[in-house]
Amino acid sequence: MSRLKRLVGGNATRAAIPGFLATMAIEYLALKRKPTVAPDAAIGSSNVDRPVGYEPRDAATSVAMGLGSLVVNGLAANVLAPMDNRIFRSRRWSLGTRRGAFAFAVVAWDFLYYWDHRMSHEHRVLWASHVNHHSSEYYNLSTALRQSWTGFVAHGFFLPMLVAGFTPAQIARAGELNLLYQYWVHTETIDKLPSAAEQIVNSASHHRVHHGANPQYLDRNYAGIFIIWDRLFGSFEPEGERVRYGLTKNISTFNPAQVAFHEWKAMANDVANATSWRDRAGYVFGPPGWTPEGASQRAIDQN
């Protein structure tokens, strides 16, 4: 049983599961009285209808993605633990023993998460791991559970914390707290926080923008807990027009395996069909949607 517990996430995550289910039920009832689609006249002349509330198959897919993520990434954590311990034993500093170390770890983890998240939108190999979280056309608390099954590919972003002397346990707890904080921001039932709070912390309003497929919302608001990183590094966008959720090209499937691996499969196909190593590298490390033709056109435009 103890090994099974290690495979399905940390203590806080396991303890939060009943809370997830209860709050999802409350949100479902709160949104049930609303129309299932909201006309979105603000998005051009197409007057797109935006889904509202819950769609049972979509929510079931999100829950399945969350459970799969806990198991797969729990296994990955066990595999990576010896490497983490070796790095920690070779640490350059001992910040984890200072007064207020865990609070510092939470801030440090959130700062590194910002860059992990931002790079996951800018490089296809990382986007392949993250895209599933954006694949729902609905936005509710179940969407928060639509987590990656290959999140371990970004593990390296957090290794500097080991070098700085934070213990693996402190880092794991800081990451878990960050993930749990982000649960509540996946909702349309909360409008905006008081202005002072909106300046500092991530909120439902800020994160709705992040999940938007509207052109002005793409690749904005990467924050985990503190929105100040987006404000400092030029990626902040306030919520204005109604958000249209999902991808610019939606995948239209409720199969968890397809949701988890569709971009990995597409990337592998592109690499296999590429005619040069330059193009293969572009398909893997370039931005999502990179093509040799697009890269050539950008080079012409810059000259």
Which pLDDT score is estimated for 51?
Answer: 80
Residue reference for tokens 């040069």? 276
Distance, in Å, from the CA atom of 53 to the CA atom of 164, rounded to the nearest integer, reads 44
What is each CA distance from 202 to 148, 173, 192, 196, 235, in whole angstroms? Answer: 21, 19, 10, 12, 13
Which pLDDT score is estimated for 1?
Answer: 34
In the DSSP assignment, the letter for residue 43 is S
**Residue 122 CA to its chain's centroid (Å):** 13
Which pLDDT score is estimated for 10?
Answer: 57
Both structure tokens of 252: 């239209």
Distance, in Å, from the CA atom of 134 to the CA atom of 93, rounded to the nearest integer, reads 37
Report residue 246: phi and psi, to 5°. Answer: 110, -160
Distance, in Å, from the CA atom of 77 to the CA atom of 74, rounded to the nearest integer, reads 5
Looking at the chain, the whole-number percentage of residues with pLDDT higher than 70 is 89
Q: For residue 177, count other CB atoms closer than 10 A to its CB.
A: 19
Q: Is 253 helix (H, G, I), strand (E, B) or coil?
A: coil
This prediction has a pTM of 0.91
Which pLDDT score is estimated for 288?
Answer: 97
Nearest CA to 288 among 273, 269, 266? 266
Which pLDDT score is estimated for 296?
Answer: 56
DSSP E strands in 9-84: the ranges are: 37-40, 48-51
Query: Which residues in the chain land under pLDDT 70?
Result: 1-11, 35-36, 38-49, 295-303
Query: What angle (nearest 5°) sits at the alpha carbon of residue 226, between those of residues 224 and 227?
Result: 95
76 neighbors 152 (Cβ within 8 angstroms): yes
Which pLDDT score is estimated for 39?
Answer: 63
Which pLDDT score is estimated for 98?
Answer: 94
Which pLDDT score is estimated for 13?
Answer: 80
Nearest CA to 185 among 174, 169, 197? 197
